[in-house]
Amino acid sequence: MKRNPKIVDRIIEGIRSHQVFCIVGHVRPDGDCVGSQLGLALALKAAGKEVVCWNEDRMPQKYEFLDPSHLFQQPKPGQRFDCVIATDAASFERLGTVGGCVQDRALFINIDHHESNTRYADLNWVAGRAPSTGELIYRLLKTARWPITRQIADCLFTAVSTDTGSFQYSTTQPGTYHVAGELVRRGANLARICDEVYQSYPLSRARLLRHLYSHFRLTHDNQIAYFWLKKADFVATGADSSDSEGLIDHIRAIAPVVVACVFEEIEPELTRISLRSKHSEVNVNEIAAQFGGGGHPAAAGARIPGKPLAVQRRVIAAVKKALDKIN
């Protein structure tokens, strides 16, 4: 993955000419979002900048070990920043309520790897072929010659690892292994990252998994797997939205399944969908775009208004249409 030297240099110049920063991420932050925010924030603090990190939703518990100094804070409307940097957010709307809290700024920078990115900032570094935003932050720090400490290495390795499915997804490139190796060389604690991120799930998540395996459905000759997460399911299991991260991979892994889908109730007539594809010719980014969403060819999502069963029928029909083109 080649960087764009012109935009990267302009971003570094913009960062160096400002002092007070807010680094923001998307709603329902995942490992790439959190790791990218913190990796960049720590580098800027080491360079003498004032930095906070804001997200609409709280950080998932499994990533809290990355932020012992509590750089993540509750967003405060009306605060002014010299520079706001969005990481891993494909659109301004994906920032959620945080977007309205960071309007008073001199410079807005957008660093992301989603092909569907709407280039909503003053400076936009969008690398659609990059496997993770964490890899972009690593390259930014290297170009700027900012030190990559052990703590930064932990953050960026977590970002790269989680968004490549532990280097299993087809988006993983040779350069990704080089970046991961460099982060390990600089002190990334693989044992702790593995334990905290992949092997320390709360009991509430296990209850959600039980719900998943009891309620998922297959259709279209078992090529489509889907399940629903209702608000009542979270109440019954004691889980919150962060516990649902990665659940879709359990039905995606079923051998005949080509496309997996999770329908999650946000409001009575607002549904969040997550889509995963295992076939190079079934682009779920294009499917999500039909409903105002986006993402990557193999992983995408959207928020769709309407009655739940009507949303389900529309989405499943769109997936079937995409599958019929390859059958």
- The backbone region for 214, taken as left when phi is positive above 0, alpha when psi lies in -120 to 50, beta otherwise, is alpha
Q: Which domains does the chain have, with CATH numbers?
A: 5-198 (3.90.1640.10), 203-324 (3.10.310.30)
Looking at residue 4, its pLDDT comes to: 63
**Distance (Å, whole) CA 89 – CA 112:** 6
Amino acid, res. 20: V
pLDDT given at position 170: 79
Assigned token pair, 169: 């997804």
Question: Which residues in the chain come in under a pLDDT of 70?
Answer: 1-5
Contacts 24+ apart (CB under 8 A), 277-286: 278/252, 279/326, 280/170, 281/325, 281/326, 282/258, 282/322, 282/323, 282/326, 283/322, 284/259, 284/319, 284/322, 285/115, 285/116, 286/322
How far is Cα 117 from Cα 126, in angstroms, rounded to an integer? Answer: 7
**CA 157 – CA 34 distance, rounded (Å):** 11
In the prediction, which pLDDT does 5 show?
67
Q: What digits encode the pLDDT tens for the residues 236-280? A: 999 988 888 889 999 999 999 999 999 999 999 999 999 999 998
Locate tokens 């889980």: which residue?
239
Contacts of residue 15, Cβ cutoff 8 Å, sequence gap at least 6: 21, 44, 49, 83, 85, 109, 144
CB 265 within 8 A of CB 228: yes
